[in-house]
Structure 1
Amino acid sequence: MSYLNNFILLGDFLSHLVESKKKASTISMYKHDLKQFFEWLNESHPNIPSEILPGDKKYYDEYFTYLKEKNLSEANLRRVASHLNGMLKYYSLTDDIGLLQATTKKQRALTDTDFITESDASILLDSVISHEHLSDIQLQIHKYIGPRNHSMFILMLRYGLTINEVVSLNIQDINFAQNTLTVNTGKSKRTLELSKHDKKTIYDYLLTIPLLFRPKDYTNDPLFISFHPQKMVYWYDYNLNKPKRISIIGTKRMIEREVKRSGIQAIVRSTHFRNSCILNKIHDGYSNEHIIYYFGLSSRHALYRFKRYLKTK
């Protein structure tokens, strides 16, 4: 049920707040505000996939319009915006959507800790397909999910896709004949050229999936699908008659596990992968227009922090 899937997203974020030592009263208010948002989202936009958060700012603006029509006070609107921003930041969406409410607080300058080094990225990619530090049971599972995870890491580390973008990809978005990948966020659509090696890696991943569960060519079947480790089978949504899409939460946890298994010392997330891709494009001399299109950015203002960082090097 869509409603329950939304609460999985909410539950994971609330667990993060508990681990961050937030007060019980604060967590209770987060839960109240975000629960109401998901209730509105399910009622107003039931067509939005339940495994992901909307990647377009227009849905959040629409929600605030709805709240204003209910005569919510400015103080309450600011609180709701703050809570939504917290959740969007947790799911690495603030870089694309931006803050939902203007703030006078100056944006923090980027430092070395906001990026992943080429060395660590290489170690991480090699580790994802290795059998190092896996138990016998994990080895059995790895032969099913290793190629999928490797393909997802390639798109994040080499092409700067966000978790939300990777999870939202459908099989029809990749053109194996032309080596291209189309990323459609709802607010923008861009086509990226894949290297032949990376294209083949994704193609080989699909071949590891039994035909019964494999995403069907030229359809909106998800490109990256869920796996049930206890039953050792791929999830299939019989109501929709298609494989079940891997979730944002599942992807986020997968990244955390693989980073830990790789042994790299840096604490990195998908945001670090994207930051490094953007920085490399700027360093290589690509135009602002090309970079804005390539990463689906809203404006050139998003590039200023990266350029200021490069000036310190």
Structure 2
Amino acid sequence: MNEKALPSFADDFIQDLTEKDRQPSTIKRYTYDLLDFFEWLEINSGTRSFEAWKNLTPAMIEQFFTYLIKKRDYKVRTVRRIYSVLKQLALSHSHSVKTHAIFSYSPPDLKQTALQTSEWISYNEEKILISTISSLHGLSEKQQQVRPHFSGRNELIIRFFLSYGLSLKETAQLTMHDIRFEKNELIIENHDRSRRIVHLSKSDKQLAYGYYSTIPEPVRPRLYSSDPFFVAYDFQRGTFRWSYEADQPKALTEIAIQKMLRLEVARAGLRKGISAQHLRNTYILRNLIKKIDIDTLVQNLGFRNPLSLQRYFYTIKFMPKKNLNLLLPEDYM
């Protein structure tokens, strides 16, 4: 650690704590943490000034804590303590810095709990669900007539959760701007407004284009437009829906996707409660079992840093082997 003095505004904060009769051990710990942070700040921005502190971005805060976790191998308790120190420093200058990037950071949970077996699905359950979607099992004669129009859409949505780890919100918000049939790609906007590219398999690209082609041309989403990619279906009229207010196909909402999944799960005879989050959990657990590169997985999911995977690491660590075997095909294990 660099032994340079704290910048004056941080030193004022320490002096204020001293005047409030904080324990000497606490003062020493706070001072050490702040010196450590401002050393990092100077290395990464060239200065430890108040301006540099004030103008920190959420991305830089994420970078700092990722550095502590991955390079320093700091424990969750230590990370949370340093976060608290920086947050208190920001609050002590709230009169001059109304909002600070430290408030955008979510420290890891101190107590880890494993996912329950009910919070993911087995490979066998996946096979049953996918095969049921493409079948006419349990459908009335009228339902059988319209089923080919949207069965591909339903299967594709579920594959987006299971095979690519998309969230419910990301899936519902997909537009024709975001899909590149010619490149087998999806463009997904992350929480921080950055974007990531999802590479579709050849078969899933064909499934996507097949669904798109089943939509009648008058109500079909327009290529490279803001039209929604997943379109609602009108069962009474037997066609896809159009929003006259928005002058575009009517988007399949998050609520509608959740309902669709519940109906498909029920028709497949699977347990109640399987949701989009359960399918995304399955994607993450499977990739951890396969030992995919962690940075790649974080990027694929649009997470800010590996901390978001802590609960999944914990789950894998304590999961019985019989449950690990359920997540993947028998020939893989």
- What TM-score range do you get, normalising by the shorter chain? 0.5 to 0.7
Which of 118, 126, 141 aligns to 1:121? It is 126
| Aligned partner letter, 1:253 | K
Classify the secondary structure of the residue corresponding to 2:219.
coil
| Aligned partner letter, 1:300 | P
**Following the alignment from structure 1 to structure 2, what is the Cα–Cα distance between the partners of residues 153 and 279?**
16
Which of 261, 266, 272 aligns to 2:278? It is 272
TM-score by length of structure 1 reads 0.64
Is residue 2:129 matched to residue 1:110?
no
- 1:185 is displaced (CA, Å) by 3.8
Alpha-carbon RMSD across the aligned residues, in angstroms, is: 2.3
Match of 2:314 in 1: 308
Pick closer, same or farther for the CA change 1:145–1:311 going to 2, 3 Å.
same
Assess if the C-alpha contact under 8 Å between 2:184 and 2:200 holds in 1.
yes
Match of 1:183 in 2: 188
Match of 2:168 in 1: 163
| Aligned partner letter, 2:165 | G
- 1:111 is displaced (CA, Å) by 2.5
Post-superposition CA distance 1:153-210 (Å, at most 9, x none):
1111211111111110011211112111111145231101110000000100011111
Post-superposition CA distance 1:277-298 (Å, at most 9, x none):
1111212222221111100113
Identity %: 29
Within 5 Å, give how 1:286-301 maps onto structure 2. 286-301=292-307
Pick closer, same or farther for the CA change 1:104–1:128 going to 2, 3 Å.
closer
Gaps of 5+ in 1: 1-98
Assess if the C-alpha contact under 8 Å between 2:196 and 2:302 holds in 1.
yes
Classify the secondary structure of the residue corresponding to 1:191.
strand
Pick closer, same or farther for the CA change 1:288–1:105 going to 2, 3 Å.
closer
- 1:100 is displaced (CA, Å) by 11
**Following the alignment from structure 1 to structure 2, what is the Cα–Cα distance between the partners of residues 242 and 277?**
32
Classify the secondary structure of the residue corresponding to 1:151.
helix
Is residue 2:154 matched to residue 1:154?
no
Match of 2:255 in 1: 249
**Following the alignment from structure 2 to structure 1, what is the Cα–Cα distance between the partners of residues 261 and 110?**
30
Post-superposition CA distance 1:16-68 (Å, at most 9, x none):
xxxxxxxxxxxxxxxxxxxxxxxxxxxxxxxxxxxxxxxxxxxxxxxxxxxxx
TM-score by length of structure 2 reads 0.60
Classify the secondary structure of the residue corresponding to 1:212.
helix
Count residues in correspondence: 216
Which of 171, 182, 201 aligns to 1:195? It is 201
Match of 2:221 in 1: 215
Match of 1:238 in 2: 244
Pick closer, same or farther for the CA change 1:111–1:104 going to 2, 3 Å.
closer
Pick closer, same or farther for the CA change 1:168–1:104 going to 2, 3 Å.
closer
**Following the alignment from structure 1 to structure 2, what is the Cα–Cα distance between the partners of residues 252 and 111?**
21
Assess if the C-alpha contact under 8 Å between 2:266 and 2:272 holds in 1.
no
Which of 141, 166, 170 aligns to 1:136? It is 141
Gaps of 5+ in 2: 1-103, 321-333
Match of 1:284 in 2: 290
Match of 1:50 in 2: none
| Aligned partner letter, 2:210 | D
- 1:231 is displaced (CA, Å) by 2.0
State which structure, 1 or 2, has the greater radius of gyration over its C-alpha atoms.
Answer: 2
| Aligned partner letter, 2:133 | V
Post-superposition CA distance 1:214-244 (Å, at most 9, x none):
1111111110001111122221122322111
**Following the alignment from structure 1 to structure 2, what is the Cα–Cα distance between the partners of residues 283 and 178?**
29
Pick closer, same or farther for the CA change 1:153–1:104 going to 2, 3 Å.
closer
Match of 2:53 in 1: none
Assess if the C-alpha contact under 8 Å between 2:261 and 2:275 holds in 1.
yes
Assess if the C-alpha contact under 8 Å between 2:220 and 2:249 holds in 1.
yes
Pick closer, same or farther for the CA change 1:204–1:104 going to 2, 3 Å.
closer
| Aligned partner letter, 1:160 | G
| Aligned partner letter, 1:164 | K
Classify the secondary structure of the residue corresponding to 2:138.
coil
**Following the alignment from structure 1 to structure 2, what is the Cα–Cα distance between the partners of residues 100 and 137?**
52
